[in-house]
Amino acid sequence: AQSVTQLDSQVPVFEEAPVELRCNYSSSVSVYLFWYVQYPNQGLQLLLKYLSGSTLVKGINGFEAEFNKSQTSFHLRKPSVHISDTAEYFCAVSDLSTDKLIFGTGTRLQVFP
């Protein structure tokens, strides 16, 4: 069975600063990895996904993530955040034999002016 750990429940950061949101996963099989964002009062929206190939994945809104198989991590990064990036971010995993997503508990990114 898979599991996802997001160690940081909240990450405060000033506008235009870089940010990294951490995600570690556990699985005995190959996985697909995802980052979703949930803006206030909105549904979950896919930021980016890793399926195979290049370990550096670029997504929407300037976000990117790097898959590290040896460390079982998929950390999300952005070099310069904006106020509008304030939201809840969820890391998720699915394996190659199932469609269900296993989510972490989320990280609330709060960007201050």
Q: Does 102 bind another protein (CB under 8 A)?
A: yes
Instruction: Report helix, strand or coil for 85.
Output: helix
Q: Does 105 bind another protein (CB under 8 A)?
A: yes
| Footprint of another protein on 73-92 (CB under 8 A) | 90, 92
Distance, CA of 32 to CA of 1 (rounded, Å): 14
Q: Which of 40, 43, 53, 113 binds another protein (CB under 8 A)?
A: 43
Token reading at 86: 């304030």
Q: Which of 7, 26, 29, 45 binds another protein (CB under 8 A)?
A: 45
Choose one: 17-25, 39-47, 60-68, 75-83; the region binding another protein (CB under 8 A): 39-47
Distance, CA of 72 to CA of 27 (rounded, Å): 9
Strand 107-112 and strand 10-14: the pairing is parallel
Answer whether 107's CB lies under 8 Å from 4's CB. Answer: no
Residues within the interface to another protein (CB under 8 A): 4, 6, 32, 36, 41-46, 49, 51, 90, 92, 94-106
